[in-house]
A and B are shown apart, each in its own frame.
Chain A
Amino acid sequence: MTHGYMGKQIWINLSKHKVKTNDIDGKILQQYLGGKGLGLKLIYDYVKSNHLNITTMDAFSPNNVLYFGTGPGTGIKGFPCPGRYHVMALKSPLTGSIGSANSGGSWGPFLKFAGFDGIFIEGKSEKPVYITILDGKVEIHDASDLWGFTVFDLEDELQKRHKSENYQVSITSIGPSGERLSLIGCIMNDKHRAAGRTGMGAVMGSKNLKAIVVGGTKRPTTAAGEDFKPVSQKMLKKMKDNPVTGEGLPKLGTAVLVNVVNSTGSLPLNNWQQAYNENVEPISGETLAEKYLIKALPCWGCTIACGRTVQVLDGPFAVKYSEGPEYESIWALGNSCGVMDLPAIIKANHYCNEFGLDTISVGSSIACAMELAEKGHIPEEDLQGLILKFGDPSAMVDLIWRAAYQTGIGKYIAMGSAKLAEHYGHPELSMSVKSLEMPAYDPRGIKGIGLNYATSNRGGCHVTGYTISPEVIGLPEQIDRLSYEGKEVWVKIFQDFTSGVNSTVNCLFATFALGAGDYAELLTAVTGWDINDGEFLKIGERIYNLERHIMDKLGIKNQDTLPKRLLEEPIPEGPSKGEINKLEKMLGKYYELRGWSDEGIPLPEKLKELGID
C-alpha cells in the first residue's frame, strides 16, 4: 500500500447489488494520483475491457459509471485544504461529455476514515437504495422510504440512523432534482456543499442511488512520518503569509469578487446582454458581510476558512441559517437574472442546496428564460401566469421551486439553458459551452478565460483553468486582461496544473499560494515518491489529455467555441465597452502547443509521449 492512500477501492454493481474491493497498482497511482485523474483512468479501462460503444450510450444507461474519489492528501492533517472529493461520470447527461464535479466539506476525509480511497459504481438498482461505508464495512440498504426527501431532511434522518459513538459520519446525496433526473441536478454533502456541475446528481438518480454515508476510525499515513510536519508547516506558512489565502479569502470569502469583476466591466448582467452594473452594491460581498454574515466556516482541516454562514432575519426571504452563497451563486441567481436582492439570492441558494440544483446552471437557465420571455419567445400558457422579467426576485425564487419539482416551465429550466433555449427556438440565447453554463467572468473583458471556457473539457467552466488568477487577481503575476498575447500558454499551464491539483484532490484556493514545486514536495513527503514540479505538471497534462481522448471516443469534437454573443456582440457599456472575444487569435496556437489536431483531439504522438494507450 502506498502512503497517503488507504489502499482500497470499492466496486459496486447496483444491478446485482454486489460489492467488492481491491487495491490499485502503485504505478497507476503515481501516473494519475487520485480523484479526477484516477477516476478517468478507471473509467477508461472499464470502457476498454467491456468493449462499450460509448458514442451512442445514454447517460442514464446502467452502463454509465460514477466514481467518487479522494486523493493522497485527503484527510491528512497538516496537508493544505485536505477536505475535498471528486465525482466523475463516463457521460454527463447535460453535456454528453465526461461528467466531473468537486466538493468540499468533510465527506472526502470521512470516506478515507472509513478505510477506502474511492467508490466505482456501475449498473442500476431496481429499487431506491443508499450505501453505508462505515469503518471498513460496505452495505447497500433499501431507500424506498427515503425517496422524495430533500437533502436537509435526508441528512437529518441518516445521521440519526448511523450515528456512532466512535466516529462522525458524513453524507453525500441527491434531492428531488437528482431523483427527477434534472440535467442540472447536483450531488450534495454536509447539507450545503455541492459537487455542482455537469448533472452528476441526475446520474446518481438514474441509478436509484439516494445517498452514501461514510465514517470511521481509520487514518491515512505519510511516508515521511514525523518529517511530514516541517513540510506541512512550510506550506501552511506560505498560505498564511500570502495576502489572498492568509487575508483576502479568510476575511472576505469569495463574494468580494462581485465588486472586483464588476469594476473591470466583466460581470455578466441580464443573461450576458451587458457586463457592467453601476448598481451592483446591494448584492456585493461587502453587503453580504455587513448585513447577513454569521461567521466563517472551514472545510475539514482547512486553514483558509473561506466558507460563510448567513441568516436573513425577516422579510419574504427570511432564512434562519444557511451557508454561502459563494461568488458564482450570487452572480448566477443575482446579476445574471438582474436580481439585486441579496435576501432573495440567499433564499434561492438555500433552496438549491435543499433540492440539489447547481446554482450556476439553474441561475443561468432562469436568466435565459427571462430573456426568452422578454423577447416574446415563450408562449403565455407555458408561463402559467408567471410574469418573467429581469430583476424580479420573487420570480427567480419561484423558478427554483418549479425547476426542482419540474412543474410548468420549470421542467425545461431543469434541463439546462441549452435545451431550454433550443426548445423555444433560440439556441443562441443559451450562454453555455458544450451545454454547460459559463460562470461569472465575461471573456469579452477577460480574454484568456474565454480560451479556457472554450477548451475546458467539461464545458463552460472557470475552475478547469482559472486564468482569472493572473488576469484579474494578479497571481502568480499580473497580466493584461485585454491582451491575447501568450494567453494560450497561461491556459495550458493552468489546465494542466489544475488537473494535477484536482487529482491530488486539493482545493484550488491553495494554489493562490502554492505552485507545482510545492505540490511535488507535499506528494513526495506523503507518498514517498520522488517527484519534482515538472513531473507534477506532466501528470496534469496526462490527465487532461486522457480526458480529451475519452471525449473523442464519446464523439465530442469541434466544440471548442464560445456563444455567438461573446464572439460578435460588443459589450455595450462600462469599463470593457466595445470588447468582444476574438477566440480565433488564441485557439490555433493553443492546439499547436497542446499537440492536438485542428478538431481539438490529441494526436497519436502526444498520447504516446504521455503513456496513454
Chain B
Amino acid sequence: MDELITIEVRIFATLRDILGLKKFPMHIKAGSTIRDLLHTIQQVFDKGKEFIKEVSDPEDLNRIRDHVKFMINGIILFQDKILDTTIHKDGDVIAIFPPIGGG
C-alpha cells in the first residue's frame, strides 16, 4: 500500500492572489510527482485551474512556464525536470514562485 505523507506547499508573490493562501498542507502518496501535486491542486481549489494556467506554459499545459520556480526543501528544480520530480518525505516543503528578479 502506498504510504500517505503530509507535505507543505508554499506559494509566493502574485500566485497568492489566485488561491488566497500563502501556504497549505497536502496529503499525497509518497513518490507522487509535481505533476500529480498540481493535478490535486487543480481538483481541490476553486481557482485551481487558474493557478495551473498561471504556472504552465501557455502554449503547452504539460510544461511549466519559463522562470516559474519550484523548490523542494530549498533545492531549485531544473525547468525540464520539474513535472516529473518526485516527492518522498513527510514534511517536505514545496515552494512555488512566479518569475522573479532583482538584487
Q: Which residues of A contact B (CB under 8 A)?
A: 243-245, 247-249, 251-257, 259-260, 263-265, 281, 285-286, 306, 326-328, 439, 445, 462-463, 466, 468, 472-475, 478, 481-482, 508-509, 512, 574-576
Contacts and interface: CB of A to CB of B under 8 A. Distances in A.
Nearest to B68: A243
B74 A265 contact: yes
Interface residues of B, number: 26
Interface of B: 10, 12-14, 16, 22, 65-69, 71, 73-76, 78-79, 95, 97-103
A265 B93 CA distance: 12
Contacts of B12: 256, 259-260, 286
B95 to A, nearest CB: 5
> B74, B97, B102 — which one has the most chain A CB atoms within 10 A of its CB?
B102
Contacts of B75: 482, 575
Contacts of A474: 67, 69, 76, 79
Contact of B101 (A245, A265, A463): A245
B53 to A, nearest CB: 15
Given A252-B14, A256-B100, A474-B69, 13 more contacts: A244-B67, A248-B98, A249-B101, A254-B103, A256-B102, A257-B100, A260-B69, A263-B71, A281-B22, A286-B16, A466-B103, A478-B79, A482-B75
B65 A243 contact: yes
B76 A248 contact: no
A145 B103 CA distance: 38
A253 B102 CA distance: 7
B13 A285 contact: yes
By DSSP majority rule, is chain B's interface helix, strand, loop, or mixed?
loop
B102 A306 contact: yes
Q: Which A-B residue pairs are the 4 nearest by beta carbons? A: A575-B74, A254-B102, A243-B99, A244-B101
A202 B99 CA distance: 38
Contacts of B79: 474, 478
B78 A575 contact: no
A292 to B, nearest CB: 16
Contacts of B76: 264, 472, 474, 478, 481
A326 B102 CA distance: 9
A509 B71 contact: no
Nearest to A513: B101
A243 B66 contact: yes
Given A286-B12, A478-B78, A473 B100 contact: yes
12 contacts: A248-B100, A252-B13, A254-B101, A256-B12, A256-B100, A257-B102, A445-B74, A474-B76, A475-B101, A508-B103, A575-B74, A575-B75
Contacts of A257: 100, 102-103
A596 B33 CA distance: 47
Contacts of A285: 13
A263 B74 contact: yes
B34 to A, nearest CB: 15
A244 B99 CA distance: 6
B73 to A, nearest CB: 5
Contacts of B65: 243
Q: Identify the interface centre among B65, B99, B100: most chain A CB within 10 Å of its CB.
A: B100
A242 to B, nearest CB: 8
Nearest to A574: B74
A472 B14 CA distance: 19
- Residue of B10, B99, B101, B102 most packed against chain A (CB within 10 A): B101
Contacts of B66: 243
Given A463-B103, A575-B75, A475 B67 contact: yes
Nearest to A266: B74
A88 B97 CA distance: 37
B66 to A, nearest CB: 6
A249 B102 contact: yes
Contacts of A245: 101
B46 to A, nearest CB: 21
Contact of B102 (A264, A286, A481, A509): A509
Contacts of A439: 103
B1 to A, nearest CB: 31
A512 B71 CA distance: 21
B95 A263 contact: yes
Contacts of B102: 248-249, 252-257, 306, 326-327, 509
Contacts of A306: 102
A326 B71 CA distance: 24
Contacts of B69: 260, 474
A468 B103 contact: yes
A462 B102 CA distance: 11
Nearest to B65: A243
